[in-house]
Amino acid sequence: MDALILQILNGLDKGSAYALIALGLTLIFGTLGVVNFAHGALFMIGAFCAVTLNRLFNLSHEVEVPGETDFLGNPLMRDVPYLYDIVGESAGAAIIDWSVPLAILFAIPIMIIVGVIMERGLIKHFYKRPHADQILVTFGLAIVLQEIIKYYYGANPIPTPAPDAFRGSFDFGAMIGFDPNTIIYPYWRLVYFCFSVVIIGAVFAFLQFTTFGMVVRAGMADRETVGLLGIDIDKRFTIMFGLAAAVAGLAGVMYTPINSPNYHMGMDFLVLSFVVVVVGGMGSLPGAVLAGFLLGILESFASMREVINFVPGINQVIIYLVAIIILLTRPRGLMGRKGVMED
Amino acid sequence: MSKTNLTRRGVLRTGAVAGAGLALPTYLSAASHSGFTNAPGDSTVTLGFNVPQTGPYADEGADELRAYELAVEHLNGGGDGGMLPTFSSKALDGTGILGRKVEYVTGDTQTKSDAARASAKSMIEKDGAIMITGGSSSGVAVAVQALCQEAGVIFMAGLTHSNDTTGKDKRANGFRHFFNSYMSGAALAPILADNYGNDRKAYHLTADYNWGYTTEEAVRNSTEALGWETVAAVKTPLTQTDFSSYIAPVLQSGADVLVLNHYGGNMVNSLTNAVQFGLRDKQVNGKNFEIIVPLYSRLMAKGAGANVKGIFGSTNWHWSLQDEGSKAFVKSFGTKYGFPPSQAAHTCYVQTLLYADAVTRAGSFNPCAVVEALEGFEFDGLGNGPTLYRAEDHQCFKDVLVVKGKENPTSEFDLLEIVEVTPRDQVTYDPSIFGGELGTCNPGA
């Protein structure tokens, strides 16, 4: 029982990332009808916003350390962040420690701008082209973006730790009556799960309770009629693209303490997120969220030693097997709308 | 009065024919009839550096390339000479190799066997490379080594740690200076016994490819010989990025040690996840929970950040070594590039020097002469102490470093501290234990 609870918890944080990326993908597909294979790259750019802010906070000048030498025998120089000079050492250290949460504020405008530029500069030219063209061009864009990141940040993962207050883990098992050390869960993964729930809730509330959201939903249902009413739906959809980019970017920012970011992380999530979208139902926002968490938990279960011993290699294919079964039995996915991707 | 029919055109024509006739034997002996592939001309010789320039090990590949460029500079008499003055063999004099200036071409392995073979083939067939060296993966090394054997050129492996490279997949034309999984296990075991005792339960997470298998096998054999019990060994996909679902069951298994048979990004992520799950803060079976990383590199340690503190592993070489060879190399590399070299850079630099030295001692670029010069070659002064290139499997035998993540690093390079230099005798093994056949050298042509 404790093992099952543990894997559910693991699946929730993995599912959180899938759900956030799939949510953005679905928003873009639902509004613009574009299959955006560069969405994983937006997740990666978000993560590198956190890296960049951390580096900005750590911009330093050198101070000689008396009596010590470097590897060449020259006087040892220690880096002292300019931030220490500006706000004092303890305040500077605290700001650097909290650089990942602070990067949320840094990433939102950057991701919206990146999203809008991407949509206006490239993707709008492919609205009326076949999905295959859209996939090719956005996939190409994703590769270009990741190569740019690799050029400037290198190929190795870059450690970007969580604030001290959220490092380590807590004994969830002991809290609910199991033996100590049976269900251990890291604080930051809990933060990530809560963060994703808040973001998902905010996106749904935005679409449900604002006039802007209402127009967007109307446009998703019948773009032509909304246009005939004199509403500039294209402009709103461009903004939605920016928002979807911001959602992916925030997912990336908060993911950095879980796994050190590298230039390839977007691709690692992209394919699985597409499976999530298809399983959830193309164009269905609740479907994307539901499928994200569901497949995250299933993947987690499939990685259990007992399961792998029983069916070797199942951890590698479980998501695709489930996708096949769901699409055979429910071709529109779990919550897909009639008429979407059926032509 | 006699008349000679000597004309300007006639002289030129006769001269050209005579010149071609005189040059023909040289051409035939140097190229197609030299008896070996890509025999160099009189002025230059071309080496092929096949490293990952793109893909997950691109940073490691970049460091390897820096080392190769430095080695070429030193072989041609440039710079401060690096390890040439400290090398026990004095055959190299900074005038290239056998009087030929050393040139080089590069290829991108992408850390993929097929791409690595394609780039090596191109360097051999199009660029005339007489020796191929490099790589940051055992899969790549084994694949390129086999290609070089077929093509009749020498392969001087870069960073490859699997037992297979000089074990079941060894080839007569291939040589490895880097240590291997067996040596890691043999070097680590006594240190683990001293620090963690003989009554431990180990849980292995192993990268699902040949390097992972041989490393797990080596560490299991060594630790089980100490009295440790292996409670589980789980294969993890090479493409895995989040290891939480593999880490989470570790505590439930009753294990009190986690062995991460991972390298590169896999190691960075699995170690980060293990620390996140608080494994190192736990007490299991009345003991502190411990993590072990059998193969360390400084570039990996940098990626894992503070998570490496206090964790044991092994490495082929470290820039903080204080022997004359290491100091000379670190000074040379550090002055040129501004930071200390990695173990990958060191092994690549050394391999280039060893090849050049073997050619010079043999007096020939013929691969079979080079093989003969390297087999059983004893040398010193290249950073690892007295070293033997064993004839039976073309594996170098030298001291192995056991290192630990440093608790209080003074710089971004100062991440590992050497806790033990395991003597060569302790990591030497019977060449027959891994099977495979060396075969005979192939000069090609």
The average pLDDT across B258-268 equals: 90
Say if CB B79 and CB B73 are below 8 A apart. yes
CA distances from A134 to A26, A32, A129, A138, A140 (A): 15, 11, 7, 6, 10
CB contact set of A251 (below 8 Å; sequence gap of 6+): A16, A17, A20, A21, A43, A46, A196, A199
Say if CB B235 and CB B204 are below 8 A apart. no
Residue B16: pLDDT above 80?
no
Q: Where are the beta strands (DSSP E) in B69-183?
A: 101-108, 131-134, 154-157, 174-176
Considering its fold, how many domains does chain A have in total? 1
Cβ–Cβ gap A259/B413 under 8 Å: no
* Partners of residue B229 on adjacent β-strands: B201
Residue that finishes a domain, picked among B292, B315, B338 = B315
**Which band of pLDDT confidence, cut at 50, 70 and 90, is reported for residue B6?**
very low
B208 lies in the same domain as B265? yes
Say if CB B181 and CB B217 are below 8 A apart. yes
Cβ–Cβ gap B303/A300 under 8 Å: no
**Which band of pLDDT confidence, cut at 50, 70 and 90, is reported for residue B13?**
low
The average pLDDT across B415-420 equals: 93
Q: Is A185 within the bounds of a domain? A: yes
Cβ–Cβ gap B276/A14 under 8 Å: no
B/e letters for B392-403, b = 16+ CB within 10 Å, e = fewer, are: ebbbbbbbbbbb
State the DSSP string of B277-337.
TTGGG-EETTEE-EEEEEE--HHHHHHHGGGGBT-EEEES--TT--SHHHHHHHHHHHHHH
Strand order across the beta sheet in which B377-379 lies: B377-379, B387-389, B396-397
Q: Which of B239, B278, B411 has its CB closest to that of A169? A: B278
Which CATH number goes with the domain that contains A69? 1.10.3470
Q: Is A338 within the bounds of a domain? A: no
CB atoms within 10 A of CB A323: 20
B240 lies in the same domain as B175? no
Q: Is A180 within the bounds of a domain? A: yes
Phi, psi of B403 (to 5 degrees): -125, 165
Nearest CA in chain A to B264: A156
B339 lies in the same domain as B258? no
CA distances from B248 to A65, A301, B55, B165 (A): 42, 11, 29, 34
State the DSSP string of A45-102.
HHHHHHHHHHHHHT-EEEEEEEEEE-TTSSEEEEEEEHHHHHH-HHHHHHHHHTHHHH
> How far A72 CA lies from chain B's nearest CA (Å)?
6
User: Left, alpha or beta for A93 (phi > 0: left; psi -120 to 50: alpha)?
Assistant: alpha
Per CB-CB distance under 8 Å, the chain A contacts of B53 are none
Taking the C-alpha atoms of residue A263 and residue A147, their distance in angstroms, rounded to an integer, is 7
Burial class from Cβ neighbours inside 10 Å (0-12, 13-18, 19+) for residue B54 reads middle
Taking the C-alpha atoms of residue B306 and residue B85, their distance in angstroms, rounded to an integer, is 38
Taking the C-alpha atoms of residue A278 and residue A341, their distance in angstroms, rounded to an integer, is 10
Considering its fold, how many domains does chain B have in total? 2
Interface with A, mutate which of B235, B244, B326, B332 (most A CBs under 10 A): B244
B188 lies in the same domain as B309? yes
Nearest to B306 by CA among B413, B405, B419: B405
**Which band of pLDDT confidence, cut at 50, 70 and 90, is reported for residue B9?**
low
CB atoms within 10 A of CB A76: 18
The confidence score (pLDDT) of residue A217 equals 84
Taking the C-alpha atoms of residue B68 and residue B348, their distance in angstroms, rounded to an integer, is 6
Q: Is A31 within the bounds of a domain? A: yes
Taking the C-alpha atoms of residue A241 and residue A216, their distance in angstroms, rounded to an integer, is 11
Taking the C-alpha atoms of residue B376 and residue B431, their distance in angstroms, rounded to an integer, is 13
Q: Is B39 within the bounds of a domain? A: no
Residue B35: pLDDT above 90?
no
Taking the C-alpha atoms of residue B87 and residue B90, their distance in angstroms, rounded to an integer, is 7
CB contact set of B153 (below 8 Å; sequence gap of 6+): B37, B38, B124, B129, B130, B131, B132, B173, B367, B444
Taking the C-alpha atoms of residue B238 and residue B209, their distance in angstroms, rounded to an integer, is 8
> How far B228 CA lies from chain A's nearest CA (Å)?
21
* Partners of residue B403 on adjacent β-strands: B313, B418
B326 lies in the same domain as B309? no
The confidence score (pLDDT) of residue A319 equals 87
Which CATH number goes with the domain that contains B196? 3.40.50.2300
Taking the C-alpha atoms of residue B210 and residue B216, their distance in angstroms, rounded to an integer, is 10
Burial class from Cβ neighbours inside 10 Å (0-12, 13-18, 19+) for residue B376 reads exposed
pLDDT tens for each residue of B37-91:
999 999 999 999 999 987 767 778 999 999 999 999 999 999 999 999 999 999 9
Residue B7: pLDDT above 80?
no
The average pLDDT across B361-373 equals: 97
The confidence score (pLDDT) of residue B295 equals 94
Nearest to B356 by CA among B44, B17, B96: B96
Residue that finishes a domain, picked among B271, B295, B315 = B315
Tokens at A295, concatenated:
């497949």
B299 lies in the same domain as B323? no
CB atoms within 10 A of CB A306: 9
Nearest to A31 by CA among A217, A285, A213, A300: A217
Q: Is B124 within the bounds of a domain? A: yes
Interface with A, mutate which of B111, B136, B236, B252 (most A CBs under 10 A): B252
Angle at B163 (CA atoms; ends B51, B58), nearest 5 degrees: 20
Taking the C-alpha atoms of residue B368 and residue B445, their distance in angstroms, rounded to an integer, is 12
Both ends of chain A: CA-CA distance in Å? 45
User: Left, alpha or beta for A225 (phi > 0: left; psi -120 to 50: alpha)?
Assistant: alpha
pTM of this prediction? 0.82
State the residue range of the domain holding B89: 44-179+319-394
Cβ–Cβ gap A156/B237 under 8 Å: no
B/e letters for A115-148, b = 16+ CB within 10 Å, e = fewer, are: bbebbeeebbebeeeeeeebbebbbebbeebbee
Nearest CA in chain B to A160: B305
B/e letters for A214-245, b = 16+ CB within 10 Å, e = fewer, are: ebbebbbeebeebeeeeeebbebbbbbbbbbb
B153 lies in the same domain as B211? no
- Report the number of secondary-structure helices (H) and strands (E) in chain A: 15, 4
Interface of B with A in 289-348 (CB under 8 A): 299-300, 302-307, 319-320, 330-331, 334-335, 340
The confidence score (pLDDT) of residue B15 equals 52
Per CB-CB distance under 8 Å, the chain B contacts of A14 are 242, 244-245
Say if CB A32 and CB A241 are below 8 A apart. yes
State the residue range of the domain holding A189: 2-329
Nearest to B140 by CA among B119, B122, B123, B167: B119
Residue that finishes a domain, picked among B394, B414, B431 = B394
B227 lies in the same domain as B160? no
The confidence score (pLDDT) of residue B352 equals 98
Burial class from Cβ neighbours inside 10 Å (0-12, 13-18, 19+) for residue A22 reads buried
The average pLDDT across B94-113 equals: 95
Taking the C-alpha atoms of residue A159 and residue B273, their distance in angstroms, rounded to an integer, is 12
**Which band of pLDDT confidence, cut at 50, 70 and 90, is reported for residue B10?**
low
Please state at what angle helix A2-32 crosses helix A265-280, rounded to 10 degrees. 80
Taking the C-alpha atoms of B186, B188, B191 and B196 in order, what is their torsion angle to the nearest 10 degrees? Answer: -110
Taking the C-alpha atoms of A313, A314, A316 and A321 in order, what is their torsion angle to the nearest 10 degrees? Answer: 140
Q: Is A342 within the bounds of a domain? A: no
Cβ–Cβ gap B234/A305 under 8 Å: yes
Q: How does pLDDT run along chain A (343 residues), one tens digit per residue?
A: 777 888 888 888 888 988 998 898 888 887 788 888 899 999 999 999 999 999 999 999 999 988 888 888 888 888 899 999 999 999 999 999 999 999 999 999 999 999 999 999 998 888 888 888 988 999 999 999 999 998 899 887 888 999 999 988 888 888 888 877 778 889 999 999 999 999 999 999 998 999 988 988 888 778 788 888 888 888 888 888 999 999 999 999 999 999 889 898 998 888 888 888 888 888 788 999 999 999 988 888 888 877 877 887 787 788 889 889 988 998 888 887 665 555 4
Say if CB B414 and CB B405 are below 8 A apart. no
Taking the C-alpha atoms of residue B355 and residue B375, their distance in angstroms, rounded to an integer, is 12
User: Token pair 């969830």 is at which residue?
Assistant: A172
The confidence score (pLDDT) of residue B14 equals 53
* Partners of residue B106 on adjacent β-strands: B49
pLDDT tens for each residue of B189-240:
999 999 999 999 999 999 988 899 999 999 999 999 999 999 999 988 887 8
Tokens at B257, concatenated:
């040690």
Q: Is A343 within the bounds of a domain? A: no
Per CB-CB distance under 8 Å, the chain B contacts of A318 are none
Q: Is B243 within the bounds of a domain? A: yes
Q: Is B384 within the bounds of a domain? A: yes
Nearest CA in chain B to A314: B237
The confidence score (pLDDT) of residue B32 equals 42
Q: Is B284 within the bounds of a domain? A: yes
CB atoms within 10 A of CB A105: 10
